[in-house]
């Protein structure tokens, strides 16, 4: 039997942010010229604590896979460099894209659009490395940071242009050789001045080709709560709700794929790439119940050995749809609880009655699925007593897991002269709302994690479902 203390000491040593090594053994691209490359820079894993608290993942950059597929449809030769999955340094990522005449660098892959990280100096380093090798190479930034602050990006980096909002249609037009002056949804320099075009109209998701998973290191992706052989898919973009804490500049209006389109992508992932675990990255997956039921019926009919997870709201689930989801392989549902104080939740425009929350969790657990409750600390007007109440409330409703977050004021973000200092290059949003320091909120996160995960009610649940137990323990320790 392994002694408990040394075991936890070993896990603690391995729970720190995964380093980016410069001698990592990776496959190298050939010198064959590429029309374009897409880079997903490497972030810390599994949690970043600088300038906020951000959970990172080893998930495929879905939007980049769509962009690459769009270019391939035109017969162009492209590549995706996923430095996050392959743990590449900025220099290594740039080297892997060295054969490309134009490079698109993402500051926030699709699964982080609604809560982008606050600091992207690693992205700046990728751009710098790309330009150092070939100054004439065109470099475009994709993501939330450039969408909100294009002038800041173009001032602080050598990027040639910024793509505003979701990138797929803009990438398509650039691949067609259209002059950037004629393209909507871009920002660029002209005669020493920054020109910012209006955002473009948002496209139908049914126009997308299948994501270019063949350009990704699919064997490296996993989700701590499901396992390997993992992919992410989306049935919709945007959200019809108006919660005040969610960053939505990238999304545009709420749009849904047809059931046929989403089913085709499930089949593609399972049949062609051996995917056995899927996360549906929609902000509110069960809002379109017909689509969910259609996909579930397909999975059941094909008898796929498939596990999957999603995120939704408690007021968008009921027993019939949960039963169907469980039958189709749903193992985990993530819910936003946000706060244990009703007054605080009401001010976020996301009030769901406590009875609805309790009943939703009861049904999920009754049917044999797991749950994650998201809680935020530091919402506007929240007191320390409110935060303690949230910790107590989570223990009362007893989800399988809880994820505590620090509220970042994306919707109040401004970039002014005070922030325009060398120390704040690459930093985009305030660390917290006014009233509490990040150090205080970090301490509240630690308090909440210990109170829940070391509770006699929680330990047996986690040990009863030991899948990826080491990864879960790493997540817990990294948050402390």
Mean pLDDT calculated for residue range 216-245? 95
- Give the residue-averaged pLDDT of 437-461: 94
Question: For position 417, what pLDDT does the model report?
Answer: 54
**Domains contained in the chain, CATH given:** 20-196 (3.40.50.2300), 222-479 (3.80.30.20)
For the stretch 265-285, pLDDT in tens is 999 999 999 999 999 999 999
DSSP string across 432-470: S-TTS-HHHHHHHHHHHHHHHHTSTTHHHHHHHS-TTHH
On the question of a cis peptide bond just before residue 46, with omega within 30 degrees of 0, the verdict is yes
The mean pLDDT value of the chain amounts to: 91
- What's the pLDDT tens digit per position in 92-112? 999 999 999 999 999 988 888
Q: How far is it, in rounded angstroms, from Cα 23 to Cα 89?
A: 9
HSE on the CB side for 52, CA within 13 Å? 23
- Please tell me the distance from the alpha carbon of residue 171 to that of residue 173, in angstroms, as a whole number: 5
**pLDDT-based confidence at residue 461 (cuts at 50, 70, 90):** confident
**What is the C-alpha to C-alpha distance for residues 155 and 152, in angstroms, rounded to an integer?**
5
pTM: 0.92
Long-range Cβ contact pairs of 299-302 (< 8 A, separation 24 or more): 299/266, 299/328, 299/329, 300/327, 300/328, 302/267, 302/270
Backbone angles phi, psi at 276, to 5 degrees: -125, -5
**CA–CA distance from 89 to each of 36, 44, 122, 283, 306 (Å)?**
20, 11, 9, 31, 34
Q: What is the β-pairing status of strands 370-377 and 330-338? A: parallel
């Amino acid at each position: 039997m392994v002694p408990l203390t040394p075991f936890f000491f070993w896990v603690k040593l391995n729970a720190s942010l995964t380093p980016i090594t410069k001698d990592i053994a990776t496959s190298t691209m050939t010198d064959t010229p590429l029309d374009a490359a897409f880079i997903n820079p490497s972030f810390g894993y599994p949690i970043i604590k600088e300038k906020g608290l951000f959970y990172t993942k080893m998930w495929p950059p879905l939007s980049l896979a769509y962009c690459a597929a769009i270019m391939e449809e035109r017969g162009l030769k492209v590549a995706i460099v996923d430095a996050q999955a392959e743990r590449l340094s900025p220099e290594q990522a740039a080297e892997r894209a060295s054969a490309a005449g134009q490079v698109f660098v993402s500051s926030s892959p699709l699964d982080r659009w609604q809560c982008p990280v606050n600091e992207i100096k690693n992205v700046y380093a990728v751009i710098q490395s790309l330009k150092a090798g070939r100054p004439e190479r065109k470099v475009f930034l994709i993501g939330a940071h450039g969408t909100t602050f294009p002038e800041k990006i173009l001032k602080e980096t050598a990027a040639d242009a910024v793509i505003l909002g979701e990138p797929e249609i803009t990438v398509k037009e650039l691949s067609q050789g259209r002059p950037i002056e004629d393209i909507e949804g871009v920002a660029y320099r002209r005669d020493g001045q920054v020109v910012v075009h209006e955002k473009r109209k948002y496209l139908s998701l049914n126009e997308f080709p299948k994501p270019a998973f063949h350009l990704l290191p699919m064997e490296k992706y996993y989700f701590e709560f499901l396992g390997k052989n993992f992919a992410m898919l989306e049935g919709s973009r945007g959200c019809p709700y108006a919660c005040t804490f969610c960053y939505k500049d990238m999304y545009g209006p709420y749009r849904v794929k047809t059931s046929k389109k989403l089913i085709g992508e499930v089949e593609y992932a399972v049949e062609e790439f051996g995917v056995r675990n899927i996360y549906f990255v929609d902000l509110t997956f069960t809002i379109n119940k017909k689509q969910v039921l259609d996909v579930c019926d397909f999975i059941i009919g094909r008898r796929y050995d498939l596990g999957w997870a999603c995120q939704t709201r408690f007021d968008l689930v009921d027993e019939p749809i949960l039963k169907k989801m469980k039958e189709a392989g749903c193992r985990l549902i993530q819910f936003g609880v946000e706060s244990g104080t009703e007054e605080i939740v009401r001010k976020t425009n996301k009030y769901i009655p406590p009875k609805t929350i309790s009943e939703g969790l009861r049904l999920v657990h009754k049917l044999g699925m797991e749950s994650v409750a998201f809680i935020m600390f530091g919402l506007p007007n929240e007191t320390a007593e409110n935060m303690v109440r949230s910790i107590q409330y989570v223990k009362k409703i007893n989800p399988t897991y809880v994820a505590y977050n620090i509220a970042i004021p994306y919707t109040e973000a401004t970039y002014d002269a005070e922030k325009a200092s060398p120390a704040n290059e690459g930093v985009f949003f305030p660390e917290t709302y006014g009233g509490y320091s990040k150090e205080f909120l970090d301490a509240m996160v630690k308090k909440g994690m210990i109170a829940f995960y070391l509770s006699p009610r929680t330990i047996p649940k986690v040990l009863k479902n030991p899948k990826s137990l080491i990864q879960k323990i790493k997540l817990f320790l990294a948050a402390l």
